[in-house]
Structures are given as structure tokens and as C-alpha cells.
Amino acid sequence: MKISKTHQRLADDLNRLHDLQGALDHPKYYLGSNWKDVINFWLFLDTLTIAQLCIINHRYLALDRDDKNVLISVWDTYTGCEKFYYQVAYEAVCAVSKPASLFWIPSAKAKATIEIMVRDDLLNSKKSLVFLPLFINI
């Protein structure tokens, strides 16, 4: 299996900071039931050019405040290790994004990642995906 920069960073962070291993071999445990979609999204992120990141940045900045806060109510329903793993994944995306970041790109990438992880809960609560669509037709 090809490993994205973010997936490698997640595995390194879990191992180094929390003595947890297996993020590369057993991603479902750390990324939830939508782990395959998360991994594919991370591989896609590795291919983005600066021009594409600029487009995503403009789209992100165009979102209104309510759209940017859509994950908060869903996020608050998670507890324990599940929330912990999602937070580590969020931080891994941001860390990988920083060297080539443009304004809000780390946040947009990280929020899209979390949105994929909690997609089923979002859709079940009649909420729309907000961040993932920023990366469509790029």
C-alpha cells in the first residue's frame, strides 16, 4: 500500500508521542470506518500543486462562519480514544501542510479529513459536507 505523507506523520506521531503502533498496518483502528476514504484523500493531497492550493484557499476563505463551524456539533459527540485519534489525525495533516501552506490550507485539509472520518454522522444528522467539496474539480 502506498503511504501518504500525512499517514506516515500520523504513524510517527502516534508511535513517538504516545507509544502507539499500527497506524500503517491497521488504519481502521485509528481513522474509523471511513479509513479507506481518508487514506485516498491524503494521497490526493500529496499531488496538489501550489496553484491548486491557491484555489482551495480562496474557496475556504469564501465560506461563511456557520459553514466553518459545522463540525463542532458533531465533534462534541465524540469521546475517549476516538476523539483522541481524530485530533492526532487533524494535527498530522496540519503538520504536513505547514511547509507549503497558504493561509488556511492546513485547516481546510484537516477539516476535510475529519469530515470524511465523521461523514456518516454528519449525513445522519442532516448536515452537509462543507470542506471536502472545496477539493472537488481542482
**pLDDT per position as a tens digit, 42-99:** 899 999 988 898 899 889 889 888 777 777 766 666 766 677 777 778 788 887 876 5
pLDDT, tens only, 11-35:
888 777 666 677 777 788 878 889 8
H or E segment at 71?
helix 70-75
**Structure confidence at residue 90 (pLDDT):** 79
As for how many domains the chain has, the answer is 1
**Structure confidence at residue 122 (pLDDT):** 84
Contact 16, 9 (CB under 8 A): no
Q: Which domain holds residue 64?
A: 5-135
**Structure confidence at residue 69 (pLDDT):** 76
